[in-house]
């Protein structure tokens, strides 16, 4: 692979950089850079600004209203957006359910849902995990019984990210209790305004309301919202998880946070000199930077495969493992660099001072402990790699 960018690609980078710096609201940028929560309006507002510019679906083909960019252009776009502090485009529509509908949905579903996802007109969330069914997702118990022209859904989903904002949820449900675990699952699209749906917040240890429980009590879902074939949802779920794990890698955001780490370490003192000049600390920073470069190259390879209409392979598990480890290492090193000042925890405090200026590092550190669990725990991903690459 040629790792140098062509003149056209460099020109595109400058175009993206100029747009982001001119149009990204400063309040949104500052909140992202300091690790503070951003609102639904701020997330959707940025997506809509990109839509107005024709960049609302950077990973989609032109056939479905996307930009038609190749892997390199997608990478440059994400890198420049992350570097300046733009919020990441929500993956639930663009990178998860959107590709599933493209690959397995019928024409009516494509016409109904894809344009609204691309234009940020609908906010989606993911209904996979349940109490007792996380990494062992095939053991899920939420059931959907067909009754005429609709399904009746009953059950509970948990750890549902940003469900409090969502217009729609895509769900794995059990439609054949008698079949073996993977064979009796279907993939439903459910309007969150449907009677019988209850969203209950889960406040995480960093004080944030990011995840939720979602309860379904006799929720009626039209049969037309079934994606693909009944009882074949496990196939679609695996396809989606490959895209999710690729997205979790977060190379652009990690590059931004690496730069932030170096700035913090340059300001902090140890034995009368900047911490970044301490040999032991500098070695740890260098190791993270090396790992991030390797991840970046691997990510480009996977994006190139996706652009060729190939489903993500075992490399997506590798991206998920290394990407989340790097995110956690960066958060830990920032805490170490700040010392006791790193214990500042308030996500939305207006407090002044050196600790507050760096943002809620302790809250970010705690929040990032989950990255090696969601999307399939890293231990499970290592098993997948062993099975697929070593043919065990």
Q: What is the pLDDT of residue 205?
A: 81
Q: Is the pLDDT of residue 40 over 90?
A: yes
User: Is residue 118 included in any domain, yes or no?
Assistant: no
Range of the domain at 290: 249-389
Q: What is the pLDDT of residue 374?
A: 78
Backbone angles phi, psi at 217, to 5 degrees: -125, 105
Average pLDDT for 218-240: 95
Average pLDDT for 177-203: 95
Q: What is the pLDDT of residue 149?
A: 97
User: Is residue 104 included in any domain, yes or no?
Assistant: no
Do residues 335 and 253 share a domain? yes
Contact between 97 and 104 (Cβ < 8 Å) = no
Q: Quote the CA–CA distance of 78 and 244 in Å, as a whole number.
A: 16
Do residues 274 and 377 share a domain? yes
Average pLDDT for 278-283: 96
DSSP one-letter code for 6: P
Average pLDDT for 292-298: 89
Residue 49 binned pLDDT confidence (cut-offs 50, 70, 90): very high
Average pLDDT for 239-264: 82
Q: Of the residues 46, 68, 89, which one is the last residue of a structural domain?
A: 89
User: Is residue 313 included in any domain, yes or no?
Assistant: yes
Do residues 361 and 261 share a domain? yes
The position carrying tokens 């895509």 is: 170
Q: Quote the CA–CA distance of 55 and 269 in Å, as a whole number.
A: 43
User: Is residue 243 included in any domain, yes or no?
Assistant: no
User: Is residue 103 included in any domain, yes or no?
Assistant: no
Q: What is the pLDDT of residue 173?
A: 97
Q: What is the pLDDT of residue 305?
A: 67
- pLDDT tens per residue, range 145-169: 999 999 999 999 999 999 999 999 9
Q: Is the pLDDT of residue 243 over 90?
A: no
Contact between 245 and 235 (Cβ < 8 Å) = no
Do residues 18 and 144 share a domain? no
Q: Provide the domain count of the chain.
A: 3
Q: Is the pLDDT of residue 352 over 50?
A: no
Do residues 72 and 130 share a domain? no
Query: Count of H helices and E strands in the chain?
Result: 14, 10
Q: Is the pLDDT of residue 358 over 60?
A: yes
Do residues 253 and 385 share a domain? yes
Q: Of the residues 70, 89, 108, which one is the last residue of a structural domain?
A: 89
The domain spanning residue 183 has which CATH number?
2.40.110.10
Global confidence as pTM: 0.85
The domain spanning residue 313 has which CATH number?
1.20.140.10
Q: Is 80 part of the annotated catalytic residue set?
A: no
- pLDDT tens per residue, range 96-138: 999 999 999 999 999 999 999 999 999 999 999 999 887 778 8
Q: Quote the CA–CA distance of 134 and 128 in Å, as a whole number.
A: 8
- pLDDT tens per residue, range 127-145: 999 998 877 788 999 999 9
Q: Is the pLDDT of residue 369 over 90?
A: no
Q: Quote the CA–CA distance of 90 and 165 in Å, as a whole number.
A: 12
User: Is residue 95 included in any domain, yes or no?
Assistant: no
Q: Is the dihedral of CA 337, 338, 343, 344 positive or negative?
A: negative
The answer to which of 146-160, 262-276, 356-370 has the lowest mean pLDDT is 356-370
Map residue 128 onto helix, strand or coil. coil
Q: Of the residues 200, 231, 262, which one is the last residue of a structural domain?
A: 231
Do residues 255 and 379 share a domain? yes
Do residues 258 and 383 share a domain? yes
Task: Considering the candidates 74, 210, 244, 257, report the single residue annotated as catalytic.
Answer: 244
- pLDDT tens per residue, range 66-99: 999 988 898 899 999 999 999 999 889 999 999 9
Do residues 225 and 147 share a domain? yes
Do residues 254 and 378 share a domain? yes
Average pLDDT, rounded, for the chain = 89
Do residues 12 and 129 share a domain? no
User: Is residue 108 included in any domain, yes or no?
Assistant: no
Do residues 380 and 253 share a domain? yes
Q: Give the end-to-end CA distance of the chain in Å, rounded to a whole number.
A: 29
Q: What is the pLDDT of residue 62?
A: 94
User: Is residue 101 included in any domain, yes or no?
Assistant: no
């Amino acid at each position: 692979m040629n790792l140098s960018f062509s003149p056209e690609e460099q020109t595109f980078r400058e175009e993206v950089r100029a747009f982001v710096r001119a149009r990204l609201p400063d309040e949104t940028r500052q909140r992202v850079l300091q690790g503070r929560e951003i609102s639904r309006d701020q997330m959707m507002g940025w997506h809509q600004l990109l839509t107005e510019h024709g960049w609302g679906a950077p990973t989609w083909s032109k056939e479905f209203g996307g930009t038609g960019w190749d892997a390199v252009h997608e990478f440059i776009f994400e890198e420049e957006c992350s570097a300046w502090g733009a919020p990441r485009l929500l993956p639930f529509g663009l990178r998860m359910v959107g590709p599933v509908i493209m690959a397995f949905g019928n024409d009516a579903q494509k016409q109904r849902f894809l344009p609204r996802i691309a234009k940020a007109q609908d906010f989606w969330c993911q209904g996979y995990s349940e109490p007792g069914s996380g990494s062992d997702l095939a053991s899920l118990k939420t059931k959907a019984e067909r009754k005429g022209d609709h399904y009746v859904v009953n059950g509970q989903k948990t750890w549902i990210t940003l469900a409090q904002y969502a217009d729609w949820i895509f769900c794995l449900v059990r439609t054949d209790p008698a079949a073996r675990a993977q064979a009796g699952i279907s993939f439903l699209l459910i309007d969150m305004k449907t009677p019988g749906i209850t969203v209950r917040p889960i406040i995480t240890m960093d004080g944030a309301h990011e995840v939720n429980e979602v309860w379904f009590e006799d929720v009626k879902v039209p049969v037309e919202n079934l994606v693909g074939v009944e009882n074949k949802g496990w196939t679609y779920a695996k396809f989606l998880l490959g895209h999710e794990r690729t997205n979790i890698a977060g190379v652009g955001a990690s590059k931004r946070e690496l730069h932030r780490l170096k700035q913090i370490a340059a300001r902090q003192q140890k034995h009368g000199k900047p911490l970044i000049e301490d040999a032991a600390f500098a070695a740890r920073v260098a190791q993270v930077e090396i790992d991030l470069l390797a991840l970046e190259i691997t990510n480009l390879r996977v994006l190139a495969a996706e652009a060729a209409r190939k489903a993500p392979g075992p490399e997506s598990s590798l991206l998920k493992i290394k990407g989340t480890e790097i995110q956690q290492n960066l958060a830990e090193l920032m805490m170490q660099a700040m010392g006791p000042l790193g214990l500042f925890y308030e996500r939305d405090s207006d407090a002044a001072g050196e600790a507050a200026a760096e943002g809620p590092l302790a809250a970010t550190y705690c929040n990032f402990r989950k990255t090696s669990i969601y999307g399939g725990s890293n231990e499970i991903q290592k098993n997948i790699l062993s099975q697929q690459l070593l043919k065990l």
